[in-house]
A and B are shown apart, each in its own frame.
Chain A
Amino acid sequence: MMALSLEKHKMPEQDPKVRAHNFNEVALGYDEETAVAEAERCLTCKVPQCRKGCPVGVNIPEFIAKIKTRDFDGAISKIKESNALPAVCGRVCPQENQCEKYCILGKKGEPVGIGRLERFAADREMAQNKEVKPIDYAPDAQKVAVIGAGPAGLSCAGDLARKGYRVTIFEALHTAGGVLSYGIPEFRLPKDAIVKKEIANLEKMGVKIEVDAVVGQLYTIDELMEEEGFDAVFVGTGAGLPHFMNIPGENLNGVYSANEFLTRCNLMKAYRFPEYATPIRVGNSVAVVGGGNVAMDAARTALRLGAEHVYIVYRRGEEELPARKEEVHHAKEEGIDFQLLNNPVEVMGDDKGWVRALKCIRMELGEPDESGRRSPKAVPGSEFELAVDTVVMAIGQGPNPIVASTTPGMDTNKRGNIIADEETCATTKPGVFAGGDIVTGAATVILAMGAGKKAAAAIDEYLKKKRGA
């Protein structure tokens, strides 16, 4: 037997110098030979650990075994038993903290590239444009309303449809996908090639998607249940309310929330202005405040929109960056300037109300706090100005209150997150379930999908009881 490589097969990528100026996908994906070779690194453990790291419980060892034997159709079927959006998850899941974290190969070298293999299987199937069979609904099939067409809602809807429920997803924006459409950039997750196709497949199965429908305004949940005939409701409205720092100057022209910056670019396609009518303003120098994946996305987007200099301003150090290592690595390769251990204290404006600089103060790390992270402390007198034209605040999002505030009986906690049972996603209102970021606060695509799945199972149980089965 050949000695096992300690490293994953390299992911082919666009050259950093080239990709920093285009919106095409950065990672190009494995070809068949590379995928089979990577699959062969899997040791087929007797007691596989990888699967316990997957929030939706994909049967990882079996799908990898099928890739080994070149049964690629079998591999994607196996994945789809548990995951409705594999082409998405193969791209944006933080595998290093999930499945791959538990891979035994990771103890001595790099784990199996599980995410890359998942993406390979999903992309290969997608390229074949297979027919999706519509579901044969019973004439008296019960109806479920899903609020929000993001990862939680899509996975919940897919599972419920497969169980024979008639599902309508209500989406506030004009395009389904939630963060997959408005948030994650094209160069990480292609919209037409991947997101739209995955969603179209759900629609072909029979899931209805009503876009431009702001639940809480156009319909309340009570109206959906009492007047529109829905037997149960799943709320997956995400973390849609951008946070700002509440420092002086944040309302100057040139200050964006990451949500707005990314929405203009991804959803409204401002990067193709004026062909698309929505403008975006980038300027020459951009400071993105924050250290998570959203901050990396915003910084790399700014670069592609033509900014000459893009800073990441983060108050802690490199080790504490919450973004995936791969994203940080990609950002650095492309030339993003990391200003770590710096905290903004004021956005400075010119006399016409435009940003001219971001005033920061240097930070140093103190003793670890209760969460185990070393807490940053300002160094007195160390303020300095970073000359920038644009500031993007990527410091997190909270729950959007529109649905909760119009749904009596559905309780929220003091942060505004909907209170839901961890196992069943049941809220305090009978027949109403909730999951994803609206319950947990901003987290990941796959955790939201996991919640959607759990909710689908619980809604199935609830509706079985309701119909007396």
Chain B
Amino acid sequence: MRAKVLRKELLSEGVYRFDVDAPRLAKKTQPGQFIILRVNEEGERIPLTVADFDREKGIITIIFQVVGASTELLASLEEGDEILDFVGPLGKKSEIEPGLGTVVCIGGGIGVAPIHPIARGLHEAGNKVISILGARSKDLIIMEKELRAASDEVIITTDDGSYGIEGFVTAALEQLVDYGEKIDLVYAIGPVVMMKSVADATRPMGIKTIVSLNPIMVDGTGMCGGCRVQVGSETKFACVDGPEFDAHLVDFVGLRERQAMYRDQEAEGKDHICRIGLGRGA
């Protein structure tokens, strides 16, 4: 259905937050789920994990990074403009329940956005939530305030050391373990390389780790199979079987290769040079 952009905010360079008027979706959306939008008749269907939902106000919040022609078009919308198609909620919800213990929620880059409703849900269910937010530098850390409200503790890491711990999110995770924190579950959402690093770090520790994947997809309802990903010995469709999977079973190398499938065409379609090394929005 059509959905109006109620609020637009530039969070950091090329990263936007939209509050979208979508009451029915807001009523039904659960942490971990995603939406698909299409800006106009010629537009691509863009999957975006939900960053926030407000059932009372009927608002779905999305956060995206301009990485190509389609996200650039989306970013060109102003408050009051309508998105032609806004579809969801899609995918399975996160398995949130009380008694999970201490959960570390790791968000890298704009992966912080989809981690937010999960952290909040886990926190509201009475679990201890430690959030680790990572980015290249201080001005790229988003949603810190929201995550502080949704967590017992927040740790920031930046690659350049401009804020928080200098280093990657895995450094913060290892520190937690070194300090004797007993971690029962890890959620990690961000670039594929980051999720792979987290999985590699938690595997030897035997900590159950869940990642949320955002591969290339078209319909988001299981129809095209474009989002297939190898999980253990099985091929799964991220849109309907996921988007969350056991990080220790995901074939991240294959996932990364599949995400590069249209890089040439995207360059041809728009002379946009991705300055941040991404092929697609998270």
Contact = CB atoms under 8 A, between A and B. Distances in A.
Interface of A: 172-174, 182, 210-214, 217-218, 240-242, 244, 246, 250-254, 256-257, 259-260, 263-264, 267-269, 273-279, 281, 352-353, 400-402
Given A257-B224, A352-B257, A279 B1 contact: no
A353 B252 CA distance: 12
Interface of B: 1, 24-25, 28, 38, 42-45, 69-70, 73, 84-90, 218-219, 221-226, 228-230, 235, 240, 254, 257-258, 260-262, 265-266, 268-270
A21 B261 CA distance: 24
Contacts of B69: 274, 277
Q: Can you list the 8 inter-chain pairs with the closest CB atoms, starting with the nearest?
A: A353-B257, A260-B224, A279-B265, A274-B269, A257-B225, A174-B85, A277-B44, A212-B87
Contacts of B270: 274
A251 B258 contact: yes
Question: Which of A172, A212, A250, A256 is most buried by chain B, counting CB atoms within 10 A of its CB?
Answer: A212
Given A173-B219, A277-B44, A278-B218, 11 more contacts: A182-B223, A212-B1, A212-B87, A218-B24, A241-B225, A256-B226, A268-B45, A278-B44, A279-B265, A352-B257, A400-B222
A454 to B, nearest CB: 25
Nearest to B42: A276
Nearest to A242: B225
Given A218-B24, A274-B268, A251 B223 contact: no
A256 B260 CA distance: 15
B109 to A, nearest CB: 23
B25 to A, nearest CB: 7
Contact of B222 (A213, A256, A401): A401
Contacts of A211: 1, 85
B262 A402 contact: no
B235 A275 contact: no
19 contacts: A173-B219, A212-B87, A213-B87, A217-B28, A217-B90, A241-B223, A242-B225, A244-B235, A251-B235, A251-B258, A259-B224, A263-B223, A264-B218, A274-B270, A277-B70, A278-B218, A281-B261, A400-B223, A402-B222
Question: Which of B38, B223, B258 is most buried by chain A, counting CB atoms within 10 A of its CB?
Answer: B223
A210 B219 contact: no
A259 B225 CA distance: 8
Contact of B1 (A213, A259, A263, A268): A213
Question: Which of B225, B230, B240, B268 is most buried by chain A, counting CB atoms within 10 A of its CB?
Answer: B225
A214 B230 CA distance: 26
A353 B253 CA distance: 9
Given A214-B90, A217-B28, A352-B257, A275 B42 contact: yes
Given A211-B85, A242-B223, A402-B240, A273 B269 contact: yes
B45 to A, nearest CB: 7
Nearest to B228: A251
Question: Which of B86, B87, B90, B224 is most buried by chain A, counting CB atoms within 10 A of its CB?
Answer: B224
Contact of A260 (B1, B25, B225, B269): B225
Contacts of B261: 253-254, 281
Contacts of A276: 42
A256 B158 CA distance: 39
Contact of A263 (B84, B89, B218): B218
A415 B25 CA distance: 31
Nearest to B229: A251
A208 to B, nearest CB: 12
Contacts of B218: 260, 263-264, 267-268, 278
